[in-house]
Amino acid sequence: MTYIVALTGGIGSGKTTISDIFSSLGVPIVDADIIAREVVAPGTAALQAITEHFGADILLPDGNLNRAILRQKVFTAPEEKQWLNALLHPLIQRETQRQLTQVTTPYVIWVVPLLIENHLMHLADRILVVDVPVEVQINRTMARDGVSREQVKNILTAQASRQDRLEQADDVIVNHNNSKQALTARVVELHQQYLQQTKSVRQENHNE
């Protein structure tokens, strides 16, 4: 089985930037957010179920899921969030497992924003946390998504705290005021480290 490095971090921490650098080094990326979008693409059974449950206004004019509306509907209704999770989590987990088992490189980056919140740490061999101060998360998310400070703070409240993530981390990338060059250098350093670690694991397994 391929060595799995889980990449996580709060909203606006820069997970995509980091995963893109790993990808440029030839490391395969399995991204939970991308999979979550794929399982509710137009024409899927999951999107049909969501539409029947919440009504047609949950769709955008082009037939895609209106994530902003869905977020509003489940944010203040725990029972609706539970229903949605029960529908989507098994689909996401099945597709994630399928992608992970197809990897043939020494290690894979598994991007999981809610790794801590969904208690998935045991599924990874190593945990890499992208860390930034909360104020940076708020400013970046407001600028990127066009949302209010209050909305971002609500999302942050629903996510694991910065301290919780750091306590679970095996490795940390500080993505605050760092140049692209500095981030790339840090990723290259970790890339070499992970290649060495996977080599050691393979040797241990071979000797057993």
pLDDT single digits (tens) 121-168: 999 999 999 999 999 999 999 999 888 999 899 889 888 999 999 999
**Alpha carbons 121 and 54: distance in angstroms, whole number:** 32
Residue 22 and residue 123 share a domain: yes
Please indicate, yes or no, whether residues 137 and 157 belong to a single structural domain of this protein: yes
- Write down the residue that tokens 């990127």 correspond to: 144
pLDDT at 100 over 70: yes
Query: CA dihedral in degrees (32, 125, 199, 183; nearest 10)?
Result: 60
Is 63 among the domain residues?
yes
Q: How far apart are CA 84 and CA 74, in angstroms?
A: 8
Calculate the average pLDDT of the chain. Answer: 93
Look at residue 206 and tell me if it is in a domain.
no
- Please write the tens of the pLDDT for every residue from 130-143: 999 999 999 999 99
Q: Are 147 and 180 members of one domain? A: yes
Q: Give the residue, 200 or 185, on which the prediction is more confident.
A: 185
Q: Is 147 inside any structural domain?
A: yes
% of the chain surpassing 90 pLDDT: 79
Of the three residues 102, 122, 147, the one that is the final residue of a domain is 102
- Residue 59 within a domain: yes
What are the tens digits of pLDDT across the range 38-53? 999 999 999 999 999 9
Which pLDDT band holds residue 199 (cuts at 50, 70, 90)?
confident
| Of the residues 102, 133, 158, the one at which a domain ends | 102
- pLDDT of 208 reads 62
Kind and range of the H or E run holding 45: helix 45-54
Do residues 97 and 158 share a domain? no
17 is in an annotated binding site: yes
Beta carbons within 8 Å of 161's beta carbon, 6+ residues apart: none
- Of residues 136 and 72, more confidently modeled: 136
φ/ψ bin of 63: left (φ > 0), alpha (ψ from -120 to 50), beta (otherwise): left
Residue span of the structural domain in which 67 resides: 35-102
Q: Is 16 annotated as a binding residue?
A: yes
Residue 208 lies in a domain: no
pLDDT value, residue 105: 95
Q: What is the pLDDT confidence band of residue 177, given thresholds at 50, 70 and 90? A: confident
| Boundary of a domain, candidates 102, 129, 147 | 102
Residue among 159, 142, 127, 144 at smallest CA distance from 10: 159
The strand pairing partners of 108, in sequence order, are 4
- 198: annotated binding-site residue? no
Instruction: Supply the pLDDT for residue 139.
Output: 93
Q: What is the pTM of this model?
A: 0.88
The per-residue pLDDT for 200 is 81
CB 173 within 8 A of CB 18: yes
User: Quick one: 117 and 23 in the same domain?
Assistant: yes
Same domain, 196 and 157: yes
Q: What pLDDT shows up at residue 131?
A: 96
Please measure the distance between the N-terminal and C-terminal CA atoms of the chain and give it in whole angstroms: 15
Q: What is the mean pLDDT of residues 159-185?
A: 93
Q: Are 96 and 112 within one domain?
A: no
- Helix, strand, coil percentages, rounded to 5, for the chain: 60, 10, 30
**Are residues 58 and 70 both part of a single domain?**
yes
The number of CA neighbours under 13 Å toward the Cβ of 120 is 22
pLDDT (average), residues 102-108? 96
Is 207's pLDDT higher than 90?
Answer: no
Whether 168 and 197 map to the same domain: the answer is: yes
Residues 96 and 114 in one domain: no
Q: Is 14 annotated as a binding residue?
A: yes
The number of distinct structural domains making up the chain is 2
Residue 21 predicted with pLDDT over 90: yes
pLDDT score of 206 more than 80: no
